Structure 1
């Protein structure tokens, strides 16, 4: 039987690649909601195409209001849910082999946004169902492949679905790496804000903006500084560049200088593999001379809680580790500052030993101190 299955997938290899590429070409990051399309055009389009694929294979499908799609193996009572998703994070920069939504095969690899997370695994699961069907392998119970469209931004799609349907007694999720992962860290995405009286006294930080999604290490960040000698700013940027690998570009107009930081975008689950432009630029800002305004003090305090390169949470007081699930990771991924307020979002992946008391309460207290 094993040889029969292996031969089946070898025979269907090119079809699988074709169908993965068909989905990857669709830009399906979360967009502005429209009537009947809770996550915008792209996620609705990719879901429609995936369900059409399944229908062409002879499977029964159902679209749950463009939140998720369901594909049933047969009419037996469902005992297994397979959870996959078709949404992706934005395309990002730094692509060298191809553009994010223009998939190509090169040197035995398939390149494109979503090939691993999670369009490739979704198609693999669909073809696994097709293999069982085509090879007449008997099943004792029903199987349903559930294709979500909001996994990258909180999984409201799956909450919607399970508000309608009963959970199967068994579930697995083909998402990214193999082999089987039976432990996953807990997720904490924390949002915080601060409002204060704006100071126009110079030198000052006029604005700061970085980040696109809470689970994406930002590869770019921008700040505007007023009343600081551009050469002094350049010196700070060069010093931070040496310790971070983040590059900075300056442009000055009148008394204002715009600083653009360029790092390396990454996934928040592996912050060590990216170069966080936000925290790099925040380090530069913290080294500059500025008036002792509340806003500047809070930016410096934020830098002390989330210093660049500290993705283990040591400065935040939440570093922890256990044998089974490993080390806690944390990254500050979104920040907006306009002189009278700041808003930020961090992403934390917490090991099994984490609790409300030793994680959430500690971070809340640390931020509240400032």
Structure 2
């Protein structure tokens, strides 16, 4: 098919794409209380229904599977389909936005709103990319299925529900990470440390409150020590990019130690916390600074700190290289923990690896390099996507090299030119994969 026809049709479809995306962006799809017909809350279910309505208006066959995952399909029903899966659920909006979080706002050629990047914008870009090709009567020989999940941000419990009724795709991708093609994802390990303090030194801490969330580097907390009130502010960032933030937990430990605000075992613990974690995102403070050539350095960040009577609870998240095992990490950690500390694992996801020479990845590289002029050599990531839950899937897009730390922050954004470049890339890629 003439590439000029595709480019012309993409331009024609752009306003329709923005109109449809705006409709879905206006829906607050943060996970809520489960019901019989909405396993992840009313918000994600409402977004799913609205998206399937859009897909039907565009002329696609649609189906909802177990109220958890829906899809728009082009082609005959069969078990050998190419799958593109994204998600409609979003993380909590947080505070201090300069734009309405649940809307699509265009300002200075940049779109703002919760989910515009993660992940409503990119998965709808794929829906409209397939629509472009459908309208041009592109000669597909394979069935294409665009799938919409509703629980990616909270553990991907929607995928087992889908797989209980449907076969997984032959192969495909999730537009929920970065470019170029991501053939490997690091392992994820969330660890809880429970430490007993036996000398009553915790009594000087009379209040402690922070904005702790395992998905992000915490950036604010307030506390009281010996009747004196304090507040600290760091810098929020995704938990898989801790070097972009300033962790308020380690800032707290550093302040307490440097200013001698506490004593005894509490002081000793905070000294260990500061020395082990403050600005040591590679795990070097704990001796777990593992590295491999394929996926780079281990990264970690504390995500929660609690005080309960004579107990300190610290939780931290690690992303470790694809050649490393969790057992190697745990074995080393046990050597450097404070006395009276119990270690447990609260979340674990093994690393994943896809054949970087697979024909799909070769086509991804070809399309990406042709449309961007950038190096398309496949890469790995610290992120965790549906590729860990849905068989035969890798991540591809939507962020371009150098774009990090946007998704879970206030004023989540995507430049208009980048959103439209995604629409173009996915259109040409679907054409390559579908023949």
TM-score by length of 2: 0.70
Taking the aligned partners of 2:160 and 2:211, their CA distance within structure 1 comes to 26
Is 1:284 equivalent to 2:255 in the alignment? yes
User: Are the aligned partners of 2:272 and 2:338 in contact in 1 as well (CA < 8 Å)?
Assistant: no
Change (3 A) 1:274 1:99: farther
Higher mean alpha-carbon deviation, 352-361 vs 330-339, is at: 352-361
User: Are the aligned partners of 2:201 and 2:262 in contact in 1 as well (CA < 8 Å)?
Assistant: no
Structure 1: gaps of 5 or more residues: 228-255
Q: Deviations over 1:291-314 (max 9, x none)?
A: 425x5644443333322x221111
Aligned counterpart, 2:299: 329
Q: Using CA pairs below 8 Å that are at least 6 residues apart, which structure has the higher relative contact order?
A: 2
User: Are the aligned partners of 2:71 and 2:147 in contact in 1 as well (CA < 8 Å)?
Assistant: yes
**Structure 1 residue 330, shift from structure 2 partner:** 0.8
Change (3 A) 1:314 1:201: closer
Structure 2: gaps of 5 or more residues: 342-435
**Structure 1 residue 172, shift from structure 2 partner:** 0.8
Change (3 A) 1:214 1:134: same
Taking the aligned partners of 1:127 and 1:207, their CA distance within structure 2 comes to 51
User: Are the aligned partners of 1:211 and 1:335 in contact in 2 as well (CA < 8 Å)?
Assistant: no
**Structure 1 residue 118, shift from structure 2 partner:** 0.8
Is 1:301 equivalent to 2:303 in the alignment? no
Aligned-partner SS, 1:21 = helix
Aligned-partner SS, 1:171 = strand
**Structure 1 residue 32, shift from structure 2 partner:** 3.2
Change (3 A) 1:176 1:16: farther
Change (3 A) 1:191 1:169: farther
**Structure 1 residue 10, shift from structure 2 partner:** 1.0
Alignment coverage as a number of residue pairs: 337
User: Are the aligned partners of 1:37 and 1:65 in contact in 2 as well (CA < 8 Å)?
Assistant: no
Aligned counterpart, 1:91: 93
- Compute the RMSD of aligned alpha carbons: 2.5
Aligned-partner SS, 2:228 = strand
Q: Deviations over 1:142-182 (max 9, x none)?
A: 22222112212221222332233221221211114333223
Aligned counterpart, 2:280: 310
User: Are the aligned partners of 1:116 and 1:177 in contact in 2 as well (CA < 8 Å)?
Assistant: no
Taking the aligned partners of 2:113 and 2:254, their CA distance within structure 1 comes to 33
Aligned counterpart, 1:168: 169
Change (3 A) 1:37 1:341: farther
Change (3 A) 1:159 1:192: farther
Aligned residue among 345, 354, 362 for 2:324: 354
User: Are the aligned partners of 2:90 and 2:118 in contact in 1 as well (CA < 8 Å)?
Assistant: yes
Aligned-partner SS, 1:50 = helix
Aligned counterpart, 1:148: 149
Aligned counterpart, 2:109: 108
**Structure 1 residue 76, shift from structure 2 partner:** 3.5
User: Are the aligned partners of 2:199 and 2:264 in contact in 1 as well (CA < 8 Å)?
Assistant: no
Aligned-partner SS, 1:334 = strand
Aligned counterpart, 1:158: 159
Change (3 A) 1:125 1:352: same
User: Are the aligned partners of 2:218 and 2:249 in contact in 1 as well (CA < 8 Å)?
Assistant: yes
**Structure 1 residue 364, shift from structure 2 partner:** 4.9
- Structure 1 moving runs of 4+ over 6 Å: none
Higher mean alpha-carbon deviation, 115-124 vs 65-74, is at: 65-74
**Structure 1 residue 332, shift from structure 2 partner:** 0.8
Is 1:219 equivalent to 2:189 in the alignment? no
Aligned counterpart, 1:231: none
Q: What is the 5 A alignment of 1:1-370?
A: 1-77=2-78, 78-93=80-95, 95-96=97-98, 98-194=99-195, 199=200, 204-225=204-225, 227=226, 256-287=227-258, 288-293=260-265, 297-307=268-278, 309-367=279-337, 369=339, 370=341
User: Are the aligned partners of 2:202 and 2:309 in contact in 1 as well (CA < 8 Å)?
Assistant: no
Aligned-partner SS, 1:301 = helix
Taking the aligned partners of 1:59 and 1:72, their CA distance within structure 2 comes to 6
Aligned-partner SS, 1:158 = helix
Higher mean alpha-carbon deviation, 157-166 vs 124-133, is at: 157-166
Change (3 A) 1:46 1:340: farther
User: Are the aligned partners of 2:27 and 2:47 in contact in 1 as well (CA < 8 Å)?
Assistant: yes
TM-score by length of 1: 0.82
